[in-house]
Structure formats: structure tokens, C-alpha cells
């Protein structure tokens, strides 16, 4: 288990951020690779360190009780309702970006993604950084398109000693935040769900009176929404049990395949990895599991289909994007 950082380590992390350097820190979703959201040179360091395309926006993390009006042109009523219900927590809102906020943090778009994380280490850092008046731009602390980190060691595995890392237990959600677009409400569009996560459409419907709409062609670009993303190094495929034998027909008899499912299968090549039974546990363990399986030398990772239901949408989304990296 990770330890919690000292006050001196929080102070050092804030100092580094204010000096334009990168700091990795835990949130309740995954570890973030943070930089001063208002410093274009620091933002460029994030893009370079991750190998991230410069048009792929970065979410800005703000302290609990932050003045959201500093970051955006307008806070629609629907956005305020979601803030009141789910912040601090794993929900990102896309809103119209204020003109003085660097376009680089939004991938050049006129919108910006904001989130208030609930993890105590993230909140401590945000409270100390610029005396609570700054924002920390932070995508997941891994190389672009690969498996997100949920421990400090995962971050060190990616970046070694090149990035200052704050320790922190309690990465409880395990997958990235839900993203909802509210940047086009003034044009009669939205709210629109861009990325599923722990905050489900049903939970938002209870607050807004209607579920968010599905993504449309004019929706802004958002973090983690490319077709192929979250991918391990080992080829990963989503395979129904009755299709598994045909899927593995091209592999030699001595190949080792990880079969991630609720039940085992009668194939000598398949090493059964029991999948968690509920959506929250699956999400919490997903990235840790993928990183472990990557180290164990399997020829393939085969994952059984997930149950239906909104509560499974976030995990299903991450696995589908991971598998897309190997679909040819």
C-alpha cells in the first residue's frame, strides 16, 4: 500500500507546480500528471512527457469551493446542479472556456473541462497550490493511449525519477471520470455524455430530470475518447465464451492466454483470471489487473463480455477502447 504524503511533500509538490514542473498525484479515479493549467510551457511538458497529441484536451482540477466563473464564460443551471450533487467527485464538466485560460489546456478548443477531485491528497495539493486559487491540468500519469495508473509505483514504472510523485492510498474508483458536455447549452444542446464513468446517466437524470444525451458529431473533443485508448502491451480481445476456441485457433498449443471472466473454460491454453462480480469492484481493479497481466507473459488477454446496465458502462467503455488498439 502507498503511504500518505507529509505536509512538506505537499509543499514541495506545490512549489514544483508553481515553477512550471510536473507532479503526479492521486485522485479517486486514477493518478494524474499535473501542471499549472495557466502556464503554456508547463502544459507543453505534459504533452511531451506523455507523447500526447496537442489537440487532445486536458482536464483542469480545481479545489473544493473554487470560483468556477474564473475558468468559464458561464455556468449553466444544469452545470451548477451537477456541481452541487457530485463535486467533489468523479465528474468532469465541459464548459465554455474563459478567454484568459490558455487554449493549450483545451486542445485549442473554446471549451474547457473542469473537475473537483475528492481524494484528500489531491485536495491538499490544490489547497496549497497558489493558495487554492490555481488549477492543475492533469491527464492520467501514463504514456498516451496506454493503461492508466492507480498506484504511485505505476507512475514510477512509466516515468522513473523524471516526475515528482505524491503517494496516496484510496484510488477508489479506478477508472477516469464521467465527462459531460455543457458547453453548448446556450445553443440548445446538452447535457451530452462524452465519456461514461462512476457517475451514471441514471444518477444525473435524478438531478437534472432527464438523462444526458449520447455524443453527437459536433461534440467537443474530450480526454480519453479516442477509439483506441487504455491499451495494455499484450493484445487484448473481447471474446464470448462460445467464440473462444475459434478465436484461439491460430495460436500454438503451448501458448498461454489469460481468460478474464466470471467462469473458467475447458481450454488448456487458458489461465482463468476471475473477474470481479460487480461493476464498482471491476472498475477499481481493472488497470491494476491489466498491468499485472502485462508482466506475466501471456500471448493474449481474452476478456468475457460484461453485463448490461449503466453501472457497467464505464468499464465496458475502457475495455472496448483497449481492444480497439488491437482490432487492426
pLDDT digits (tens, 9 = 90+) for 100-150: 999 999 999 999 999 999 999 999 999 999 999 999 999 999 999 899 999
Which residues, in sequence order, are CB contacts of 175 under 8 Å at separation 6+? 29, 30, 148, 197, 198, 283, 286, 287, 314, 315, 318
pLDDT score of 170: 73
328 — pLDDT class (breaks 50, 70, 90) = low
Asked whether 34 and 24 are in contact (CB, 8 A), the reply is yes
pLDDT digits (tens, 9 = 90+) for 234-283: 999 999 999 999 999 999 989 999 999 999 999 989 999 999 999 999 99
3-state secondary structure of 60: strand
Query: And the C-alpha cell for 124?
Result: 491538499
Residues 6 or more apart in contact with residue 167 via CB below 8 angstroms: 2, 3, 4, 5, 9, 26, 121, 152
Residues found in the chain? 328
Query: How far apart (Å, rounded) are the C-alpha atoms in residues 61 and 274?
Result: 35
- Spatial CB neighbours of 232, under 8 Å, sequence gap ≥ 6: 146, 147, 290, 291, 293, 294, 301, 322
Q: Does the pLDDT at position 309 exceed 70?
A: yes
Give pLDDT, residue 4: 85
**pLDDT averaged over every residue in the chain:** 95
pTM of the predicted protein model: 0.96
Which residues contact residue 291 at a Cβ distance below 8 angstroms, ignoring those fewer than 6 apart?
147, 154, 157, 232
pLDDT confidence of 169, banded at 50, 70, 90? confident
Amino acid at each position: 500500500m502507498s503511504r500518505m504524503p507529509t505536509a512538506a511533500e505537499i509543499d514541495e509538490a506545490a512549489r514544483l507546480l508553481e515553477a512550471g514542473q510536473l507532479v503526479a498525484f492521486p485522485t479517486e479515479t486514477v493518478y494524474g500528471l499535473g501542471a499549472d493549467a495557466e502556464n503554456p510551457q508547463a502544459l507543453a511538458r505534459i504533452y511531451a512527457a506523455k507523447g500526447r497529441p496537442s489537440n487532445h484536451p486536458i482536464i483542469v482540477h480545481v479545489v473544493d469551493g473554487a470560483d468556477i466563473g474564473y475558468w468559464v464564460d458561464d455556468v449553466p443551471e444544469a452545470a451548477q446542479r451537477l456541481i452541487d450533487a457530485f463535486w467533489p467527485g468523479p465528474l468532469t464538466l465541459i464548459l465554455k472556456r474563459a478567454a484568459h485560460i490558455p487554449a493549450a489546456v483545451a486542445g485549442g478548443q473554446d471549451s474547457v473541462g473542469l473537475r473537483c477531485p475528492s481524494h484528500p491528497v489531491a485536495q491538499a495539493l490544490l489547497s496549497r497550490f497558489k493558495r487554492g486559487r490555481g488549477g492543475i491540468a492533469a491527464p492520467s500519469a501514463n504514456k498516451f493511449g496506454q493503461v492508466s495508473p492507480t498506484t504511485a509505483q505505476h507512475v514510477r514504472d512509466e516515468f522513473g525519477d523524471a516526475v515528482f510523485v505524491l503517494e496516496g492510498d484510496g484510488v477508489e474508483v479506478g477508472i477516469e471520470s464521467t465527462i459531460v458536455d455543457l458547453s453548448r447549452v446556450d445553443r440548445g444542446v446538452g447535457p451530452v455524455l462524452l465519456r461514461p464513468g462512476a457517475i451514471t446517466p441514471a444518477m444525473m437524470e435524478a438531478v437534472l430530470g432527464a438523462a444526458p444525451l449520447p455524443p453527437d458529431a459536433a461534440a467537443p473533443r474530450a480526454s480519453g475518447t479516442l477509439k483506441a485508448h487504455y491499451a495494455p502491451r499484450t493484445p487484448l480481445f473481447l471474446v464470448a465464451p462460445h467464440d473462444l476456441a475459434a478465436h484461439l485457433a491460430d495460436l500454438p498449443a503451448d501458448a498461454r492466454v489469460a481468460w478474464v471472466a466470471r467462469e473458467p473454460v475447458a481450454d488448456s491454453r487458458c489461465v482463468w483470471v476471475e473477474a470481479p462480480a460487480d461493476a464498482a469492484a471491476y472498475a477499481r481493479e481493472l488497470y491494476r489487473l491489466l498491468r499485472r497481466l502485462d508482466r506475466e507473459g501471456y500471448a493474449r488477454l481474452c476478456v468475457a463480455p460484461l453485463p448490461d446496465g449503466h453501472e457497467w458502462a464505464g468499464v465496458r467503455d475502457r475495455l472496448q477502447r483497449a481492444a480497439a488498439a488491437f482490432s487492426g
